[in-house]
Chains A and B, each alone.
Chain A
Amino acid sequence: MADAPVPAISVRNIHKSFGQHEVLRGISLDAHDGDVISILGASGSGKSTFLRCINLLETPDEGEITVAGEAIAMKRNRAGSLVPADRKQVDRIRSELAMVFQSFNLWSHMTVLQNLIEGPVHVLKRPKAECVAEAEALLEKVGLAERRNYYPAHLSGGQQQRAAIARALAMQPKALLFDEPTSALDPELVGEVLKVMRSLAEEGRTMLVVTHEMAFARNVSDRVMFLHEGVVEADGAPEDIFTNSESERFRQFIGGFQA
């Protein structure tokens, strides 16, 4: 599938600064259907910022984003900064790129099932009965069928993250964006979430995963991207990059995890 003509996500030359601090200095990426790309980097290297630029939770200062061949229209405002030209398009693109957050971000006033059908019913405007049936199947898949009527506050972190992944899948997205999905979890809960993510990778989902889980990056992803000081410092298939990367920094970085 890597030779699919149109990439699911294509990002060109993203720049982003916060005030004087230039966080991203020209990052590009092509994710084809079925690709699982791990994004690695030290804390503060701009991984989250990069991921959030893709669905415009952060507005890039420079660069182009194309989702399944559709370019997100941007224009310059009077101050000269880049802004989305069409809010409706941004909303639609976001609904096609589901995001899974580090701290789950489930809607606290809704049950797990309600969390899952919220987007499909109210954003995608699909029939509710159909959405409920699909949501139940998804909850079965992530092992939360019994917890469908629980509120997020009544679930463990691992359960909340699995519910959040199911909520993302319920949107039937073209790609999934994960921002450190296991970083907020107690060590004994990390495994259950990684297992779900691994099964998604195996069924051919397109995934961009910001992570500190080296085993996941190494064993599950098709490609690894290492960000350092706002640029892609190393990039390649895990079997290459983990064994003989040209980047001294990347070797140091993974060295830190093996120690």
Chain B
Amino acid sequence: MDFDVAFLVSTFVKLVDAVPMTLALFAASVSLGALFALGITYCRVSGGLLLSTFARAYVFVFRGSPLLIQMFLIYYGLGQFPAVRHSLFWPVLRDPFSCAVLALALCTAGYQAEIMRGGLQAVPAREIEAGRAAGMSGLLLFRRIIAPIAIRQALPAYSTEVILMVKSTALASLVTVWEVTGTAQRLISQTYRTMEVFLVATLIYLLINFIIVRLMAFAEYRLSPHLRERPDPASGGGRQGEVHG
């Protein structure tokens, strides 16, 4: 295979055009999924038997079945019910982009809920107790003590889930959303140059994930000075000196 630089460059340019669509799928589904996950986590940890059973069942179903099938069921399956076609949701459910986002969000919500629950469980009981002993309760205790510690605990697992989601957006091509992978497949069907096109597509996903990995690592670094090395006594802690809050 000889290197056709001009072809690689033109492919790159065409695929970069589809990057906004990939990012839109990613951003919309991760944030919507986070919202769902908050609800599920709430059901799981503070609800009664009914709510926590619902949360468990949800996590089981959406983690335990293929995302591709979930997406097909939402896009192709739901439209078969006249009730759905005549409902308020039809404008959303007939649109490939909305369906893809919904499927991705429902799926990641299952994983994110488990990550959040893990983060909450990892909050040391004695730090919560110190909060209570100081007169904190309810939302104040959650906002000042529980959530900040849980988020720090959950962040590494959350990074992994976010990166998986970038890759999962590729499945949206199967319900006719023209993101990077879909666009790559269209180019291949026009040029029959599978290898080059997919190599360029791979490069683009790597670039996106590189940026995301760096951003998550930066967030982790900023949030965990207490896990890093002991500060230099001479500097009195240096930058850690900020009191923010």
- Could you tell me which A residues sit within 8 Å of B by CB distance? 55, 57, 87, 90-95, 98-99, 101, 103, 105-109, 111, 113-114, 117-119, 121-124, 128, 132, 146-154, 167, 171
Contact = CB atoms under 8 A, between A and B. Distances in A.
Contacts of B130: 99, 101, 105-107
Given A111-B243, A146-B233, A150-B237, A57 B226 contact: no
Interface stretch (B48-56, B145-153, B213-221): B145-153
Contact of A148 (B127, B144, B227, B237): B237
A122 B132 contact: no
B34 to A, nearest CB: 21
Contacts of B148: 109
A91 B237 CA distance: 33
B129 interface: yes
Interface of B: 124, 126-127, 129-137, 140, 144-145, 148-149, 152, 223, 225-227, 230-231, 233, 236-238, 240-241, 243, 245
A221 B136 CA distance: 30
Contact of A109 (B140, B152, B233): B152
A105 B127 contact: yes
Contacts of A55: 133
Contacts of A154: 226, 230-231
Given A94-B135, A111-B240, A105 B231 contact: no
Contacts of B152: 109
Nearest to A108: B226
A99 B133 contact: yes
Contacts of A98: 133-134
B245 A114 contact: yes
A41 to B, nearest CB: 21
B135 A118 contact: no
A91 B231 contact: no
Contacts of B230: 150, 154
A72 B238 CA distance: 45
Contact of B243 (A92, A95, A123, A132): A132
Contacts of B126: 101, 103, 105
Contacts of A92: 135
Nearest to B149: A109
A244 B61 CA distance: 71
29 contacts: A55-B133, A57-B129, A57-B133, A91-B136, A92-B135, A94-B133, A101-B129, A101-B133, A103-B126, A105-B130, A106-B127, A107-B130, A107-B131, A108-B124, A109-B148, A109-B149, A109-B226, A113-B243, A114-B243, A114-B245, A123-B135, A123-B140, A124-B135, A146-B236, A147-B237, A148-B237, A150-B230, A150-B237, A153-B227
A111 to B, nearest CB: 6
Residue among A94, A122, A132 with the most chain B CB within 10 A?
A: A122
Contact of B135 (A91, A109, A148, A167): A91
B137 A151 contact: no
Nearest to B148: A109
B226 A153 contact: yes
Rank and list the top 6 A-B pairs by shortest CB-CB distance, nearest first.
Answer: A95-B135, A149-B237, A151-B226, A105-B130, A119-B134, A99-B133
A101 B134 CA distance: 12
B226 A122 contact: no
A121 B131 CA distance: 13
A55 B140 CA distance: 18
- Of the listed residues B132, B135, B149, B236, the one surrounded by the most CB atoms of chain A closer than 10 A to its CB is B135
B146 to A, nearest CB: 11
Given A111-B237, A122-B144, A152 B226 contact: yes
